[in-house]
Structure 1
Amino acid sequence: MRALTLLFCSLLFLPSLAVEPESNRQKENIIEVTGEGRISLPQDKIKIDLLLTDESRHISKAKMFIEQQSKQIKQMAAGLGISPDSIRWQQVHVRPLYKEDSVQLHALEVPHSLPQGDEARVFISQLSADKTSEVEKFELSRRISIDFSDAELYQQFLQRVIGLGVKNIFPALISSDEYQQYYQQALDLAVSDAKAKAARLAQQTGTRLGGLSSLREVVLPGNKPGQEFDLSLRRENFTPLAQEIRARVVVSFRIIP
């Protein structure tokens, strides 16, 4: 009986043992490579958005600060030869900031012993929660959009606007639709690059390149337009917007011995 049991267990494991070498053999017939593609962006379509902000308890004080910064930017743009038609000014927006009610807990000393049961319950008044939130201060903001046709002028403007204390800068070289078109071109180049690499490897190993097995797109950081710069960094650490769009793919091909 014991011998029959061992024979039965052996038969159960035989199929898996037979399949494993076949699985390993199939994996050996796949070659995986990484391809990259780059597309240089046009230098005649550069756009930058500035967001001027200030907070104050008095609207007039914050508005005065926004107008003063706007005047400085206007004068600086004129000094650099930027056409007024290339600058679009939005109206000043006002947003109230409400003060949140704070709850303070204090120790309560009772000179007498409290009875047990329901009579010993302590209730906290809800009157403070029903109060209407008060306006603590106001936030004023204005967005300015500027178009450039020269990359060097664009870089000069960036450095000077940082010196004025502008902390919110949103550069975007091209629109979202144009970005998708250029990214697709970079993606096509990445696939072609991967195929060329795989063909060279197959030739070096004395095999032939077969059909496509799998393709995976790799998301690269900092590859989208309109990203906000963190200008809390010092000026020497400021990095201008990249002048190219990149794409990366991981492609697997079948190889024929």
Structure 2
Amino acid sequence: MQVKDKIVIVTGAGSGIGAAAAKHFATHKAKVVVSDIKKEKADKIVEEITKDGGEAIAIVANVSKFDEVDALIKETVSAYGQLDVIVNNAGIGPRNMTRTGEYALEDWHDVIDVNQTGVFYCMKLALQQMKKQGHGNIVNVASLAGLKASINNISYSASKFAVVGMTKSAALEYATKNIRINAVCPGYTESALLDKLLSVRPDMDDLLKSVIPMKRYGQANEVADAIVWLASDNTKFITGQTITLDGGTSL
């Protein structure tokens, strides 16, 4: 995939899909900014990338803080001169999954702050830089929960529907500016979020797999493949799209 020498930021890159994407970009010779809220996690991924001959730096940022996102973009441009790609992957789930009427206000605000407002901040500031330099590519990590109902999960579902909407709206706005914006929508994928759910409800494992036609969960590296493909020059005529990776669940 054609991403060689591209300057790429991946948020939430300390683990899961973000870490897999960062490593995959580096394998294809991109220069990766590994961003995470936890420095030790970001540093670990950078170490793994450089050990394998790739190029990466770590920048700590909480995407729900506008000033920290601003610093992330500015530090990247200062280090590399431009920003070709940003992958807005950082995301969280609620502490407690429950029906909307009983949903905790704290869970609502925390999830929306990271998953929705954080993506907006990253898009807003990255687009300013990309417009200035005359090109750019944004890949947002949404979810199957942003395309169909997800019970007992109102904040997560709302935030991911918003990411899909923001992707399409911004893609339309910047289609003539040489800036492409797309999203991936993973289904049930092996991740910290899924581990958390299964730790609370072990019986959910069989239930979830029963609604996945492929009878297995997705792998982080499978989602990373789609992210890098959308960010590459192989997909120059694709914008405003959502690529669903769910093993057939949405069928």
| Rg comparison, structure with higher value | 1
TM-score for the superposition, normalised by structure 1: 0.24
Could you say which structure has the higher strand fraction? Answer: 1
Whichever structure has more helix as a proportion of its residues is: 2
Greater RCO (CA < 8 Å, at least 6 residues apart):
1
